[in-house]
A and B are shown apart, each in its own frame.
Chain A
Amino acid sequence: GENVEQHPSTLSVQEGDSAVIKCTYSDSASNYFPWYKQELGKRPQLIIDIRSNVGEKKDQRIAVTLNKTAKHFSLHITETQPEDSAVYFCAAPADKLIFGTGTRLQVFP
């Protein structure tokens, strides 16, 4: 079955700096890779996703890159703000989404 590994588990950055979170997956048949953001006490919400027919996708300060050969994908947040502080989860599909273990991002003003 699909196995998803996510690094780092915690990440602290200064406001305005960039943050990068990386994930690897095992099932070469996977072709959909979402990133979810979960604020404290709230539900996970999709922030960006990418399908395997593209290598990069951007949405304002957020971008995701995908390397299908190496089976890894990354989330990039530029110009971080305190409201970006949350736990971020990557995921890859089997017949259901398998989530990474999460990265707790703290952005200090």
Chain B
Amino acid sequence: NAGVMQNPRHLVRRRGQEARLRCSPMKGHSHVYWYRQLPEEGLKFMVYLQKENIIDESGMPKERFSAEFPKEGPSILRIQQVVRGDSAAYFCASSVSTGTTAGELFFGEGSRLTVL
């Protein structure tokens, strides 16, 4: 059973370009979460999705960031017109259940975005 798969593992973009990060959850998991981790900092929640639905995007910047989890294919976190402050590790996680009875989150290896 493959774990959470993220790609690319490393991505370099110049200011103003677009970054697309992909995440395939563990088999049987329908809940996907994206977290951002700045260097030497903690895990900041960005967005929570189920298939074809954004459940909670309260942690995602209103501009330039978007996320989707289509019926077929991986979840995608898209950052338009990247700026240097977007440089971070972006972790995707998946789980079977959620809410206050949340179960274990399984994390991918992360995508490390560097904006030049």
Contacts and interface: CB of A to CB of B under 8 A. Distances in A.
Contact of A102 (B42, B107, B108): B42
Q: What 6 A-B pairs have minimum CB-CB distances, sorted nearest first?
A: A93-B102, A43-B107, A99-B43, A101-B42, A96-B48, A102-B42
Given A42-B109, A97-B105, 6 more contacts: A30-B100, A44-B107, A95-B55, A97-B45, A99-B35, A99-B42
Contacts of A98: 45
A4 B43 CA distance: 12
Contacts of B44: 99
A66 to B, nearest CB: 14
Interface string B85-116: 00000010000001111111101111000000
Interface string A66-94: 00000000000000000000000100011
A88 B99 CA distance: 22
Interface in A9-50: 27, 29-32, 34, 42-46, 49
Interface of B: 33, 35, 41-45, 48, 55-56, 58, 91, 98-105, 107-110
B48 A43 contact: no
Nearest to B99: A95
B13 to A, nearest CB: 20
16 contacts: A1-B58, A30-B100, A42-B109, A44-B91, A49-B104, A89-B43, A93-B99, A93-B102, A95-B56, A95-B98, A95-B99, A96-B56, A96-B102, A99-B35, A99-B43, A102-B41
A82 B110 CA distance: 25
A74 to B, nearest CB: 18
